[in-house]
Structures are given as C-alpha cells and as structure tokens.
Structure 1
Amino acid sequence: MKQYRATLDFLLQHWLRLDELFSRERFADHSQDTVTSVLDTCERLARDKFAPFNRLADTEEPHFDGERVHLPQATHEAARAYAASGLLAAAQPYEVGGMQLPFTVQLAANGFFKQASIAISAYGMLTSANANLLMAHGTPRQREVFAKNEFAGRWFGTMCLSEPQAGSSLSDITTRAVPDGDAFEADPLGPRYRLTGNKMWISAGEHEITENIVHLVLAKIPGPDGRLPPGTRGISLFIVPKRLVDAEGRLTGERNDVALAGLNHKLGYRGTTNTLLNFGEGWHLPQGAAGAIGYRVGAPGQGLRCMFHMMNEARIGVGWGAVMLGCAGFEASLDYARHRTQGRPVGPAGKDPATPPVPLIAHADIKRMLLAQKAYAEGGVALAVYCARLVDEQHTGTPEAAEEARLLLEVLTPIAKSWPSEWCLEANSLAIQVHGGYGYTRDFPVEQHWRDNRLNMIHEGTHGIQALDLLGRKVVMDGGAGLKLLAAKVSETAQRAGHVEGLAEYGNTLAAALQRVGAATKSAWATGVPEDALANATPYLQAFGHLVLAWLWLDVALAACAAVPLPEPRRQGTLSAMRYFFDHELPKIDAWLRPVAARNTLARDMRDEWF
C-alpha cells in the first residue's frame, strides 16, 4: 500500500489541488489534516482487518447448508469494522450520519480496502451505492428507514438487475410486481407491491453479516390486460428487504418471500457471495400471501433511470477495484523484483560465473514490465480520482462548473469502468510474468489478483456494452457537447505542454491523437446508420480510453514538473511512466481506429455457419 499512498498524496495535493474544495461551504469543516487522518485510518484498518484474510476469503468460499450462508469469521469482522469506521456514509451530509467529506476522499480511502481484499470490500461498496440511490430517489421515509440503516452498517444492500434468461438485456426481464391489495397505498414505506421472479448474479445477495439485506430490484408492473410492458420504459424499481420492517425501521420478525436458490462459484471474487435469488415462490409467505413485499422507488416505469444512479456509481467502483488490483500486483512484483536475484548482467561481466547474480529489477525486460504496470495502475488511479473530483464539482461547484462536470462524467464513465478492467488486468498478467513460475502458484498473491480482476471486464456491463454506450450515446448526446468539452480539455493540456521543456513533443503527439479520434468519430457516424458505426464500437472504446489516459498522464507530468517540493524520484518516476505510455501505448490507437473510420463490415457480415 506504500506505493499507492505516495501516488495518492501526490495526485490529491499537487495535481487535483484538493485543498481548494475546503473553501466551499459543504467542506468548510475539513482541511488537509482531515484528509491525512482519514487516509491514515483507512490504510491501517485495511492492513489489519482486510489484507491478512484476503487469501482466506478466497480459499474458504461461501457455502450454503440449506438454511444459512457461511463465510469466514474474518469476513464478518472486517465488514463490521469497515461499517464502524463511518466510511459507508463518508461523503453524506451530517444529518444522515455522514462525515460530509469530498467524494474524492471517500473514493481514495476506499482504495486501501479494495487493494487489501477486493472481495471483502464489495459488501460495503454495494451498500453505499444502494443507499446513495435511495437518498437521490427515495421518499423521506425510505431514506430514513432504509438508507440511514445502510449508512450505519446495520443493514447491507444489493442491486438486482439481471435474470437467468435475460442477462444484460434488461428490456427482457420478466420479474413482475403487482399492487398489494389494500396495503398498496396504506403502507408508510411507499406504494406496496408483491414481486415474483428470479434474479441472477446478485453479489452479496445472501449472508449473515448484517441483520438485514436491502435488495433494490428491477421489475415490471403488468398492464390492465395482465401483460408486462415491453422494453426498458416499463421497468420500475422496488425496495425488497430480506426481513420485513415497520415504518420505524424495526424488524418485524417475519422473513420476506425472498429465497436463495443457489450460490454461483466464480473464478475470482470468491469471498463475495454471488447468488441466484427467487422472489415470491412461496418459500417464505409473509402475512399469508405469496409474493415478496416490495416498495416502489420513484414513479412507475422510471426504474431504470433511478437504477442508473447506482449503476454509474457502481461502474466507477468496478473500475476503481480493477485499478487497485493492478496496484496490488504492481507493488507485489516490484518488491519481488527488488529482492529475487537471478541471472547476470549483459556484457563481459555477465559471462563470468564468479559474478554474483543480480536482482531481477536490474534486467531491462523486467523494468519494461514494471514500467508498464506503473503506467497502467497509476494512470488508472489518476483516472478514478479525476472522475471523483468531477462528482464533487457537480455537487458543489457553480452552475456552469457543475454542468461541465456532468457532461465530462457522462463521457468518461464508460472509460472509468472499462479501461482499468482491461489494462490493469494486463498489469496483473505482467506481475505474474515478473514472478516467473512462482507467479503461477498460490505461494504468491499475484495469481489471485489476476483471477479477481478478470471479473471486472464483465461486472456492471461488459466491454461491448460500455463501447455501445460510449459511441452510441455519450459522444453524440446533446449534439456532441460532452465530446467537445473533453476535446477542449485535452487540447488545453497539449498546449500547456508545448511551453515546458521536454514535454512539447508529447503535447504535439497528444494533439495529433485527439485529431485522429475525432476524425474516426465523424467517419463512424458519417452515414447516420447506427449499425455502421457500432459494429466497431469496441476498438473505438479502446482507442478513446488510451487517448484519455495519455491526456491524464501528460497533465500529471505537468503537475510533477511544476511541484517544487516533489522528491526527484517521484518526479522522474512520473515522467518515465508518462513517456512509456506515449512511446509504447498511444501508438496502438491507429490500429484500433482503422476499422472504425472505415466502418469495416466484417463483424456484421460474418455468418454463424462460417465459424
């Protein structure tokens, strides 16, 4: 965690100028001392309660005995310690039990837990996102009963979207919600329904860590003819607690009609329960009627709009988890390379058997792999904290600045999720390679980092879904306003670099890359036919992501050159990682953009029988 902490301190203080937030009314009680104290506490808690049990959570997978799901006691203790720290509500206002910290600080602090054990930390991430959605879209009573109890750590939360037959195609979900008779309008917790259906791949869907679990469930309300409305516009959102509660948040003693149908056993994230849940199949019959009791959030048919509040936060959270696994692998392989001796130097001295072996880090190819990991992992840190800073700007900036932050976040969210999921996974692969054969064994942690990270390419929308979102929606929305704004930011960094010795050539390279991405975007949409543009959406996503990371690395390098008290190793390390990205990574965008600009039809034209 030492490497991550040093990177974090530099980015927050010298690049993002986080102290400027403390002049705003919402954050006026805080200072840099607050940030240091919070980060110190979280680093210590993650090191003591999470990191020592990461392997245990991986090897002692959750198991179901027919009545209860069992997890290692260390998972219970870590999750409860996290809840007791107050971090679930760190960015929330005081009146709901929060610390009123900048979201940037909350995200940075959570990085320690994700690096220490991504699987154990998932329970808190989901709970915080669940409660944040209810604070934005729930009724006052729903916020009081459900969100506050989640922020306090008394209950944990989930998001229930996918279904076995539908997967990521939410328009095809079939979970039904019907008004619950006389209780429909009488329940103070909101319009009351009975839900029936099945949800698949639900992380943290069943456990005994907390006394209750708050499920946020997407379902459709049948029309007068009993049919479910078609498409996503017919989807509504419901709070479905595992155990029923009264209007004051007290458990009634009754179990809701939500049952665990089975556990999924995944390649990674083994310490997080992953479940198939049945709603309203009569396993539990609250108050003598079939169907799980649920309370509608927001208006009918607006469920997906509400859920996107949680999904977008979760997407950034998934990307952040990928970043921290990349950081974990980088730190482990850096330490290994410094201490493991193997081989001799190239040249005459290396041919002398009497010459002692050198540390792995003395070899150029090892340094290449470490430098790549540094560029991916620390670039991912910059991407995530920049997005978090935009969240703070959106909530506390001037109206103009808030709107600008909103547009930038719209465009960057698919990148914040997908880019780290691909390239920090590559960092984990390189970490294994640095370890050689040992990296493939369970004697070292890097094989688990890779397994855990492989899931993040699928979590909260696959690469293909993020690509369709970026090219199909985000870069063309509002007449391309978000894309134009991002392009202006990139151009401004390139221009500033032109006035700094040693960085001018990189500014020119960045400007040229921006021009090529812009030209490919126009060419992709030249016919106005979505099928023409979107057939090559994934290579577009890859090129766009690399452009964004090159921009951030150059911007960070400018901050490193301007920061007077910065230690020289930090400055040189930052500049070296930036140069690596420009020299080895940014040139890849030309190959990705070629089919995009040509509107290549190969993938569309390929037929089933040809495979």
Structure 2
Amino acid sequence: MGQGLRAAIDFLLYEWLRVQALTTRARYADHSRETFDAVLDTCERIAREKYAPFNRLVDTEEPRFDGEKVILPAATHEAWKAYAESGMLSAAQDYDVGGMQLPYTIEAAGNAFFAAASVSIGAGMLTVGNANLLMAHGTPAQRRAFALPELAGRFSGTMCLSEPQAGSSLSDITTRAVPDGDGYEADPLGPRYRLRGNKMWISAGEHELTDNIVHLVLAKIPGPDGRLPPGVKGISLFIVPKRLVDAEGRLTGQRNDVALAGLNHKCGWRGTTNTLLNFGEGRYPVTGAAFGSGLDGRGAGAIGYRVGAPGEGLRYMFHMMNEARIGVGMAATMLGMAGYRASLDYARTRTQGRPIGPAGKDPAQPPVPIIQHADVKRMLLAQKAYCEGALALQLYCARLVDEQRTGDTAAADEARLLLEVLTPIAKSWPSEWCLEANSLAIQVHGGYGYTRDFPVEQYWRDNRLNMIHEGTHGIQALDLLGRKVLMEQGRGLALLGARIAATVAQAREEPALAAHAQALADAWDAVLAATRAAWADGDPTAALANAVPYMQAFGHTVIAWMWLDVARVAARGDGPAHRGRLQACRYFFHYELPRIEPWLRVVRTRDLTCAEMPDEAF
C-alpha cells in the first residue's frame, strides 16, 4: 500500500474536508485528530500484516465445500479475527452498544486500507450494513439477538435479494413466507414465518468465520388465495439465521433450514464465498414444541422473523443497499488505487527505451525508467485522476452521512438529499473508471502485467465485479435519471448545483484554476440542459433510452467538481504532492471533462438508435 495512500487520505480528511472540526459536535466530543490517526494507524497496520500478504493466496485457494462446511484459508480466519478485534465493526455505533462513536468519515477511511490490501478477503461491509439496518428498523429484541452480535464480530450478515429466475427484477421473486402457526406473532424475536425459496449471488452466504450468519431475506407473504402479491409492494423482509438463537442471541444448538446449493466460481473476488442458498428445502428441518406447524404441517420451511411491517421489506432493505453501494464504490476506488500504486512503482524502476529527440538516438546511452516517457505519464496521470478523484467523492459522501447524523435539521435534510443524488455516482463512477485505471496499470506493466507474476491482473479481475453487484451499471443510471434528479421537484439537483457553483466561485479567485472553473460551470449547465431535454415531454422511454451516457457525463462532471475543490485547497500548499494534485486536476479538465459532450448529445436529442434496434437484427 505504501505511504502514498496514507498521505492521500490524510490530505483529503484533514486539509480538504477538515474532518477534525466534527469534534466540536457533542457526538464526537471525546475524539481528536490523535484518536482519528490512531484508528487509521491500526487499520493500516492490520491491512498491511493480515491482508496484503495473502491477497494472492486467497485468489488461488478458492473456497471449497467438503460436503458439510465451506473451507477457507487460515489466513482469511486470521484476517477476520484481527478485523473484528479492532472494533471497526462497531466503530460508528453508540457507546452504549459497544461502539466508538467515530465519525463515519473516519470509519470509511479506515476501511479503505482493507479494500486496497485485499478486497477478496473482505472486511465487514455486509455485516455492518446488515446490523445497521436492524438497528434502524428492527425491534429491541432483534437488535439484541442479531445486530449486537454482528457488531461484536460473533455473527456475520448477508443480504438475500436476487433469485436465479429473477436476477435484479425483484418484483419477480418467488420466495414465500407463511406464518408459522397460530401463535406466530407472539415470538419474542418478532412475527415468526416459514420461508421457502432460492437466493442467488449471496456473498459470504456460507462459511465458518463466525458462530452464526444472519441472512436478511426478501420474500412475499401469500394472500388468502395462496397467491403471491404482484410487484415490489408485496415484498417483506425477514431475519433468517443460519443457526437458531434464543431471545438474547445465544445459540440454541439447532440448525435452521438454510442449505448451501452451490458455490459460484468467479473471475475475481475469489476469496469471498458467493453462494446459491436454498431456504426450506428440508435438509435441516426445524421441528419442536417451540415452533408452529409450518408450511405443510411437518415443520417444513426455514424459520424467519419479520422485520417491521408486511410489504415494507424493500424500503427497509434500501437502508442496507445504499450503504452497500457506497461500499462497492470504495472497493472499486481502492482496487484502482492499488493498481495505480503498483504501476507507479513499476514505472519508476523498469528501464526501457530512450528519450525522444537527439539525445535519445545515441544507442550508447543507457535506457531510462519508463516513467520518463510521455505516454506512460499519461497512463499514470489518468489513473491518479480517476482513483484520487473517486476517493475524494467517497469521503465526501461519508462526510454527508456525518452531517445527516449530527447537523442541524436543515443541514441534515440537505445532506440526506445530496446523498440520494450522489449515491448512484458514488457506486457507478469508480466501478467504471477505476476499472479503466486497472486496465491502464496492466498496460504500464506491458506483457508482465498480463501475467500472474504481477498483481495488477488480479486487481482488474477483482474490480470487474463492481459494475455488476449491488445494482448494475444500467440500474444505477435508471435510478439517477429516472428518479434521483427528479425527486422532490428536483431539489436535490438544485442543491448539488449550488455546491458546484460555490466551488466555481471560489476557484475563479485562483488564476491557475479560473479556466477550469469556467469549464465546470459550462459542464454543469450542459448536464442541466440535457436533463430538461430528456424529460421535455415526460416520455420515460425516450428520456431513459440513454441513461448510461447521462450517468457517465453526470459522473465526470461530479468528479471534475471534486478535483476543482481539491485543487483549490492544494493550491495553498507546496511540494511534490500538492503539485501532483494540481496536475491531476489539469489532466482531468483537459483530457476527461471534454468527453461529456457526445454523451450528453444523445441524451439531449433523445437518440433512439439503441432502443429501436430490432431484436432480430442482431
């Protein structure tokens, strides 16, 4: 990982976001920069010692099922133990539940080190998201029995949404949940149901890292006629533990009817189990006086406890999904950053060729490090611009979470709405462009980059997943153009525009940044014009036909804003790191921001080339 990553994080946290100012707020009053640095030091050390040395190992020694349990390398067990013992699972939680009451911004920055060291070993993204959902929407008993053991590292968590036949179309899920007997509502852990169905692509769905796995499962409750309600409004949310617990979260010794149907063998993230799970197939039948009659009178079906009201499951699940989307964005960012640092080190030490010009024509001259070649510098600058720009966006979004939690009413509401608009970008933009950074890292290495002797090919393979999971690229684009920019009469879009305008006004005062400021102002005007044109007649078919190009242009404009604001702060300092940030900003405005015009043109004109392509013409 090296000092470069820590220096970049420190600059963004303390010089740009000035996160130390949060310690003036009551929730964070016990903290200081010293405590923040201590947390980052701990995360950096664990990532360096327990994660990074084993990144290749977990890629080659994939999880395997021995017929009874999933086998993972010992290094994965050691890494999870160290992570759980660090307290990072409950870092941002209240003191009274064992948390550190850290700002979420510091939690996000600390977790960045683990993603850079080995995203495949993984940290606690799904477990923390699962627990946070239950802390927000679960009953006190559900929080005590499931969320608190997750935050302590004894249990881990998953999210179970997709099904083999439905994929991302949640309205088509068929997993069903029926009340478990006449007294199903009296269970201390919540209304008790029996679930049957299949869930696909469940990360960390089966392993022996923790005492229990808490599955959060979307399912439908049949109506009086036995039919499942149509659409997403009939979806409810259930806690389905791998092993059953009592009201205090203690294991009862009984296995729930959740069975591993298979492990998916992936291009990347090979160290993380990815599973197909069967709920209620009868492999581990749950019977006994404590439970009702079940689906067929013989105790069939997995035990699940309903979270909240029936039919509200998708709304609750979005609490976890939005957290996971930002987590995916950070993972993509740090994989890009890891590739960038590796290719930068390689370019500084690999000698090949001679400079262009008269001096380079003398074969007696020794070859030079490839970093001296303009095209290699181009590839390194692109990686730096993509990855450090994405990191700024991730930490900016994390800072919005802290504002939502601790700001006054108006500031918290503004942060909420800005986060709604930025979440599709925070997930999708790094997933596309930090993947491109990984591709460039391979290119810098030349043929060696295409071999497994160097780590950059693994970073690319690991990163390729991030455009897919937690909502594909196309889904994020539909969410952005079809919902987020329109919500609350476009107020979120207006708030974002106001923040961009404030940065533009400040940057105009810096002569070296004035041209960039104007370019950003023009770009935002172009985004707004395309937004209006797309929805000019209210036809969603035409408006959303080019949602992905719209999201690409929107994302590039947001990252340009990040870079301009970062450069505004960097311009006050001196030294190579500050000059590097100014040069990366210059690169982004000269080489990247001009890309938005053709993207926005097809949005603005509502070009239907793709939508009107006949199926048979392919």
- Normalising by structure 1, we get a TM-score of 0.99
The CA distance in 2 between the partners of 1:125 and 1:19, in whole Å, is 24
**1:182 positional shift:** 3.5
CA distance in 1, matches of 2:69, 2:578: 53
| CA distance in 1 between partners of 2:215 and 2:450 (Å) | 38
The alignment yields a C-alpha RMSD, in angstroms, of 0.7
CA distance in 1, matches of 2:147, 2:199: 22
Q: What's the counterpart of residue 85 of structure 2?
A: 84
Of 586, 593, 600, 1:586 maps to 593
Deviations along 1:147-174, one digit per CA (max 9) or x if unpaired, are 0000000011000000000000000000
Counterpart secondary structure, 1:67: coil
State the Cα deviation string for residues 533-554 of structure 1 (Å, max 9, x = none): 0011010000000000001100
Q: Secondary structure, in 3 states, of the residue corresponding to 2:166? A: coil
Of 479, 498, 509, the match for 2:489: 479
Post-superposition Cα deviations, 1:566-593, rounded to whole Å, max 9, x if no partner, equal 4411111110000000000000000100
Alignment partner of 1:371 is 2:371: no
Q: 2:455 aligns with which of 445, 451, 456?
A: 445
Q: Which residue of 2 aligns with 1:179?
A: 179
**Counterpart of 1:596?**
603
Q: Does 1:190 align with 2:200?
A: no
Supply the distance in 1 between the matched residues of 2:579 and 2:570 (Cα, whole angstroms): 9
**1:71 lines up with 2:72 in the alignment:** yes
SS at match of 2:81: helix
Q: Percent identity?
A: 73
Task: Map residues 164-175 of structure 1 onto 2, 5 A cutoff.
Answer: 164-175=164-175
Q: In structure 1, the residue corresponding to 2:193 is in which secondary structure? A: strand
Letter in 1 for 2:386: Y
Q: Distance in 2 between matches of 1:215 and 1:102?
A: 27
Q: Distance in 2 between matches of 1:173 and 1:532?
A: 28
2-structure distance, mates of 1:150, 1:404: 31
TM-score by length of 2: 0.98
Deviates more, 1:260-269 or 1:493-502: 493-502
| C-alpha displacement of 1:324 | 0.2
SS in 2 for 1:49: helix
- What residue identity is the alignment partner of 1:594? R
Query: Of residues 574, 577, 601 in structure 1, which corresponds to 2:584?
Result: 577
2:312 aligned to 290, 302, 308, which one? 302
Counterpart for residue 357 of structure 1: 367
Q: Distance in 2 between matches of 1:350 and 1:602?
A: 49
Q: Deviations over 1:338-372 (max 9, x none)?
A: 01111111112211111011011111111110000
2:339 alignment partner AA:
G
348, 358, 361: which one pairs with 1:348?
358
Distance 1:555 1:219 in 2: 44
Alignment of 1:163-242 (within 5 A): 163-242=163-242
The amino acid of 2:189's aligned partner reads: L
Work out the CA distance in 2 between the residues paired with 1:570 and 1:338: 16
Q: Secondary structure at the match of 1:604?
A: coil
Q: Post-superposition, which runs of at least 4 consecutive aligned residues in structure 1 deviate over 6 A?
A: none
- 2:513 is matched with 503
| Aligned mates of 2:117, 2:570 — CA distance in 1 | 28
For residues 524 and 157 of structure 2, the distance between their equivalents in structure 1, rounded to whole angstroms, comes to 41
Residue matched to 1:419: 429
Per the alignment, residue 263 of structure 2 pairs with 263
Q: Secondary structure at the match of 2:469?
A: coil
- For the residues of structure 1 that align with 2:165 and 2:279, how far apart are their CA atoms? 15
Q: Which moved more, 1:26-35 or 1:279-288?
A: 279-288
Question: C-alpha separation between the residues in 1 aligned to 2:423 and 2:215?
Answer: 24
How far 1:290 sits from its partner (Å)?
Answer: 0.6
> Which has the higher mean CA deviation after the structures are superposed, 183-192 or 95-104?
183-192
Q: 1:183, CA displacement in angstroms?
A: 4.2
Aligned-partner residue type, residue 407 of structure 2: G
Question: 1:528 pairs with 529, 538, 559, which one?
Answer: 538
Aligned residues: 607
More off after superposition, 194-203 vs 338-347 = 338-347
| Residue type at the aligned position of 2:115 | K
Alignment pair present for 1:130 and 2:114: no
1:98 alignment counterpart = 99
- Determine the C-alpha separation between the residues in 1 that align with 2:183 and 2:360: 82
1:42 aligned partner = 43
Give the residue type in structure 1 aligned to 2:499. Answer: K
Deviations 1:267-310 (A, max 9, x none): 00000000000000101101161100000011000000000000
Q: Which amino acid aligns with 1:294?
A: G
Q: SS of the residue aligned with 2:185?
A: coil
CA distance in 2, matches of 1:501, 1:33: 36
Secondary structure of 1:247 counterpart: coil
Q: Secondary structure at the match of 2:178?
A: strand
Q: Which amino acid aligns with 2:389?
A: G
Q: Which residue of 1 aligns with 2:8?
A: 7
Paired letter, 1:50: Y
- CA–CA distance in 1 between the matches of 2:125 and 2:526? 37
Q: Provide the residue aligned with 1:52 in structure 2.
A: 53
Pick aligned residue for 2:615 from 600, 608, 611: 608
Cross-structure match for 1:551: 561
Amino acid of the structure 2 residue aligned with 1:364: A
Residue equivalent to 1:512? 522
Q: Residue 380 of structure 1: SS of its match in structure 2?
A: helix
Q: 1:99 & 1:37 partners in 2: Cα distance?
A: 12
Deviates most, 567-576 or 538-547: 567-576
**What residue identity is the alignment partner of 1:209?**
L
1:283-322 aligned at under 5 Å gives the runs 283-287=283-287, 289-322=299-332
